[in-house]
Structure 1
């Protein structure tokens, strides 16, 4: 006797930087599975906060470190960790502008200090790039020198869009944003200060499916 499956309505918290990937993937998944997926996009910090508070969602995108913490707090189903992507960081610039020289850490410092304006993710939002960039500026002694010309944005997507539109001269974000942001180009950070975000998918303990 054939097994009948019931189509489910799946509520998912997605990372803003994964919007392009999910936009391509989800229609295929819905067609093959019969399930309906509703995705709310936000920063990974906001996603983590919602799961910590027990919001009724079925899937959540967070960093690998956040996934580990949520499992320790019993906020994610034990063992629910699927790695989606590992993405490096880079300096954004407009595609029509000269390519920044990031062959060394000194080159990165010169680029930041000479830029007329800088777009960064607001570290208060908990996004991994914004948090890392804020710490990097402090560590390299750049924080005071760039503070007056830095604009903070709620998400990495908005950082990429601001540079792509020419609203800010440079920014720091995920190099993958170049593929989905008109007018944007990027150079990876020098190896000595490079960092990566590992995106994972987990199942909250509050899931109804």
Structure 2
């Protein structure tokens, strides 16, 4: 029976999220992993619910899916800021906290400290004078640390110094290959 991977990330917000998820599932299958994207396919039913019910329904569905998975493969590409998507980080932490395997990738080649400096230059810093120690890492040290701790491998990032498009699947496929190798 193949290992089941929860495919965490803000990819669910892409305009063609279902098609993108299908490509990710196919990549996982080629590597012997069952990919489980947290899509909300029944948008009409969710739209008919009051907001308080809709978000709780999505949360419960995603939590049940995570419970049913052996590992997470997280898209940690910066999302609307210098760092990874907050919801994805909660999901990564959930797997870490349960002692389950976690793997992560980013389509961004720029180290976290440099992205943070660019963010501060573009948007006024509400806490001037604070510094960010980047350590040459792809994101806040707790994120690649969690991936390394829970998956035994570093975050997959472009090694050629060139960013990839947010929806590129090149780093995702490399990450799936790493996960498949580690998971046996």
TM-score (normalizing by structure 1): 0.25
Select the structure of larger CA radius of gyration: 1
More strand by percentage: 1
TM-score (normalizing by structure 2): 0.27
| Greater relative CO, 1 or 2 (CA 8 Å, sep 6+) | 1
